[in-house]
Amino acid sequence: AQTVTQSQPEMSVQEAETVTLSCTYDTSENNYYLFWYKQPPSRQMILVIRQEAYKQQNATENRFSVNFQKAAKSFSLKISDSQLGDTAMYFCAFMKHVPNTGNQFYFGTGTSLTVIP
């Protein structure tokens, strides 16, 4: 079974600073996908960034980037130039495709990030 671990239940960062959220996972799969989702107070789950395991290059989306270490099974999210709107719960997720049964997703327990003005 796949497990996703987020060891930081809560974090805070000063506005305009950089923060890194950690995520580790356990799997025997070789091909899979990793995601970071953001859940603001509105509770909508919003995709922040995705990474394919077969790609060595780390994904980047504007101020958001990941540090994907496949051998270490680590997938951290870096938020640069933090903004007040980044205050949210962040979930790390693992997805594998299973033939004939579809995509299976596994989520971490989340990290609550507060951006301090």
Partner 1 sequence: DAGVIQSPRHEVTEMGQEVTLRCKPISGHNSLFWYRQTMMRGLELLIYFNNNVPIDDSGMPEDRFSAKMPNASFSTLKIQPSEPRDSAVYFCASSLRARGNTEAFFGQGTRLTVV
List of residues contacting partner 1 (CB under 8 A): 33, 35, 37, 43-45, 47, 50, 52, 91, 93, 95, 97, 100-110
- State the minimum distance, in angstroms, from the CB of residue 5 to partner 1: 11
Backbone phi, then psi, for 85, in 5-degree steps? -70, -5
Residue 101 Cβ, how far from partner 1 at the closest point, in Å?
5
For partner 1, which is the closer residue by CB, 35 or 68? 35
> How far is Cα 2 from Cα 23, in angstroms, rounded to an integer?
13
Enter the tokens of residue 86.
């980044």
Q: Residue 103: in which H helix or E strand, if any?
A: strand 102-107
Residue with Cβ nearer partner 1 (101 or 117) = 101
